[in-house]
Amino acid sequence: MVDWRIAILKPEVGLVAANAEVSAIITTGLVVDLIQGSLTPAEVSARLETTTANVLVVISHGFERGILLSRHISNVPIAESHNDGLFDLTDLPAAIRDKFDLILINTCESDKAARTLQNEMRAGIICTTLAVDDAEAAAFGGRFTRYLAQSNDPEWAYAMARPGNNDSYMYLAAVPDFLARRLIIHEIPVL
């Protein structure tokens, strides 16, 4: 039986239902490490380095380029910004590689981030495939963690928590030997 411990990454980005999602996760009885506030990628990396959690739940806005960490991100449109308020998708894998067994990226359109992470690590990853309403995302996050606490089975928890006629969430299963296969391929000598 896995002892699930959750790190919640909840930047202050103006999501109305984010606090309700955090409360729902805390009431599951699982150990929670809450990382919140107006954050920079360096601050998030430092906090994730010290957490003992094996599940990461990201509650924020997501974009094709990354995850929003601060709503104070200059007047440049977020999708075009190079400000510290965005955790760039190219930097994300290094910050969380091999730290978590399970990741829920509960942001809009997080499937590109999830696929990038799946190529870099052995974690199961749950993501969104389109823009998800704040209240719907909060409800899903609360249901998923409640079912995870009850069952200790992430796949079952996902199946129970996903919305009816689901087209908004996707579960990418962990690939446990992915890195081992990559290492073997890289270690074959050239003949």
For residues 170 and 100, give the distance between their C-alpha atoms in angstroms, rounded to a whole number.
Answer: 18
pTM score, whole prediction: 0.85
Q: What is the pLDDT of residue 84?
A: 55
For residues 113 and 22, give the distance between their C-alpha atoms in angstroms, rounded to a whole number.
Answer: 22
Q: What is the pLDDT of residue 185?
A: 44
Q: What is the 3-state secondary structure (H, E, C) of 32-90?
A: EEEEEECCCHHHHHHHHHHCCCCEEEEECCEECCEEECCCCCCCCCHHHCCCCCEEECC
Give the Å distances, CA to CA, from 16 to 13, 21, 104, 152: 9, 10, 19, 29
For residues 140 and 61, give the distance between their C-alpha atoms in angstroms, rounded to a whole number.
Answer: 15
The yes-or-no verdict on residue 188 having pLDDT over 80 is no
Sorting pLDDT into bands at 50, 70 and 90, what band is 14? confident
pLDDT in tens, 108-130: 888 888 888 887 888 899 998 88
Locus of tokens 């929670």: 32
Give the rounded percent of residues in the chain with a pLDDT score beyond 90: 45
* Backbone dihedral angles phi then psi of residue 28, each to the nearest 5 degrees: -70, -20
Domains and CATH numbers, the chain: 5-187 (3.40.50.1460)
